[in-house]
Amino acid sequence: MQSFRRAVPHMGRWVGHHRALDACRARQGLNNPSFQASRRALRGYSSGNLAELKEILRISEEVKEALATNKPVVALESTIYTHGALGDDLDLEGIVRRNGGVPAVVGILGGVPTVGLTTDEVTQLVEGPPKPKKASRRDIAYLVGTGMAGQKMNGGTTIAGTMVLARLAGIRVFGTGGLGGVHRGGHVSFDISADLTELGRTRMAVICSGSKGFLDIPRTLEYLETQGVLVSTFADGRKGDIDFPAFWARESGIKSPFVVQDEEHAAAILLAQEKLNIETGLLFANPIPEEYAIPGEKMATIIEQAVREADEQGAHGSGNTPFILRKIRELTNEASVPANKALVQSNVERATRVATAVSRLVSEGPSALNTPVKRWNGLETPSNVAASIQNVTRATEYVSVNDANKHLVLAMADMDIFTNQSFSPTWTATIRSSKPKWLVVDGNWKDHDVRAWMQAGKQNGAKVAFEPVSKAKSARLFCAERGLESLGVFPHATVDLATPNQYELAAMHAAAEGNEYFSDSRWWSVVDAFGMRGARDRFVNITSTAMTDAGIPQQAIRLLPFIPTIITKLGSEGALLTTILTKDDPRLYDVAHKPFVLSRCINDNQDVGGVYMRMFPPVEQVTDVASVNGIGDTFLGTLVAGLAQGGQIQNLINVAQKAAVLTLRSPQSVSEKLGSLENELLAASSLP
């Protein structure tokens, strides 16, 4: 459990449930008498009941605050830890947090029903004493009441149990693995999971990979229809009829009753259900990532054998599912284990995006559905400048050392949340499904994770930007372990854009030189085409003698084959753009750009047309600096927001500088006034 335990900070003790609900209702405009009356009638809670609920249901401070301020919250079941066989490295809470949500692990600890278990509490729940029991709807009152009577009991909540407690807390979205269902022969044995009846009476958006593949899927769907449950499957770009997934397989051969296009569509359906006061749940099926799917025909044979052996050995009732899962694991030679992990991680990630879309709809109203969305690192934000930059900005404990001119010299940050993580296979699926135009990767990740993110972006058609973060972390791009993932060279570069300051540029250059990247024959073929002999005078003319003597333009040129566009941030001196021009780049032939064409290709290289170097003076000399932290992220965020809209890099730099100035004057990590630049950014993005 160690990796899981590290993922979440301590969350507090007893909280007032009714205050969180009241704050949520006030924010959502739901505090009117008619809403409260219908809510009490449908849920069976008077104000007295709520006071009693406050005394018995425990909600962590973090979850309470998130609900009160309309932050996206995702419920997580605890049986996946107490009774699951997936191991302790799922990092589900970390997935929720990295995607901008607040995780809420649900369980019964010492007889207390809890929403938002801390890491230590999950460990206590799992390890006991006492040994945890499975807690479905029917078990909750027994476990809690027995605790009241003096015998403290632990319970890992199932899907049904989690839905009950999460709904009482006011949570809307729940991410899990696979749903229970009607067992084979269930029409005779009446062996039907309580998950289905819970969906029939508890409003909750449940994101899963369908029902477990060894169940009777057609009868499960029929039962859900009888219960009035909306069942829909994410299209993920597919057209026409779409199959309801079969857990390990993406297709079941059974048409999904409904299709949901994306997370915003799911969020709108959930809120419509809420506003209509329809109390039944909603099941959004998320097919397992393709690379982990097991072919349906193969799984059918394995499942038939597992079910047959369960019957032969008398594994019925509560023992049926564990037996079959163990047998499937054995018959697939353990292939079902990584598949199980990948699908639950993918589901939780998608649940977080649904919860984020719900929060956005609640705060902005239906008009938010018509707002174009830009995707960054798998996360979604409205396409205004401020929101885009907020999504690039890292929230962290941060200390910086700046020189007399307030240039960043040294940065220290508690970023173990990145360096202690490993690249998750679900992130590749996220990139593939979100289809970003640009993927921003920063140096906080481990060496191999920096490469893994970049390769995933490239494989899915995204351009990649690298944010160096600091001198030390910038070197991770040119790490000693060159065999991790080959760093591409122009015209097949892995990195399209980097925005180092002068110190980070020097550190990147030193790392590339020290680790022999400049010995690569691919690098030589590009540099030879530049024709840079005797270029000192040209460097001085474009930059300055001081910059040339410091080696800034020379370092940028040497790194260009690996990073074809480099913008070196020079603080109060502005920014230096250095980029490779292709043979057909119009800037090679435009009189207006002629002063910035540093060189032209001097050999028969088919890809290099020349090198473009341009100095952009500062847009303003700022004397009333509030904070220098966040300006780099603001600068890059603005650039990528414009590039994603088709803008040309040279037309966006001054807008990016203006955005950085706003953040310089703001005590916040990103200025709250950035939205004022949206029209200017749009105009700059449309320039040829």
Helices (H), 149-216: 159-169, 186-189, 194-199
C-beta of residue 37 within 8 angstroms of C-beta of residue 127? no
Q: Could you give the CA distance from residue 362 to residue 70 in angstroms, rounded to a whole number?
A: 8
Question: Distance between alpha carbon 621 and the CA centroid of its chain, in Å?
Answer: 37
Question: How is residue 595 annotated by DSSP?
Answer: G
Phi then psi for residue 144, to 5 deg, are: -70, -45
76 and 149 in contact (C-beta within 8 Å)? Answer: no
Cα(666)–Cα(677) distance, integer angstroms: 15
C-alpha 668/C-alpha 393 separation (Å) is: 11
Contact 13, 98 (CB under 8 A): no
| One-letter identity of residue 378 | G
Which of 212, 374, 458, 658 is catalytic? The answer is: 212
Q: Is 212 a residue of the active site? A: yes
103: which DSSP letter? E
Helices 320-331 and 336-364 meet at what angle, rounded to 10?
Answer: 120
Distance CA 384, CA 677 (A): 9
- Work out the angle at residue 358's Cα, subtended by the Cα atoms of residues 354 and 364, and round it to the nearest 5 degrees: 140
Structure tokens at 318: 């509560």
Nearest-CA neighbor of 389 among 126, 631, 551?
631
Strand partners, 260: 234
* Residues contacting residue 669 through CB under 8 Å, at least 6 positions apart: 393, 395, 627, 629, 630, 633, 663
Q: Are 103 and 76 in contact (CB under 8 A)?
A: yes
289: CB partners within 8 A, 6+ apart: 342, 343, 346, 425, 426, 428, 429
Calpha distance 365→359 (Å, rounded): 10
Number of Cβ within 10 Å of residue 621's Cβ equals 8
Cross-strand pairs, 464:
439
* Residue 197 burial class via C-beta count within 10 angstroms: exposed 0-12, middle 13-18, buried 19 and up: middle
d(CA 136, CA 141): 10
Helix count and strand count (H, E) for the chain: 30, 22
Q: CA end-to-end span of the chain, whole Å? A: 54
| Residue among 77, 93, 263, 349 flagged as catalytic | 77
Structure tokens, 353: 């995006």
Residue 471 catalytic? no
Catalytic center residues: 77, 212
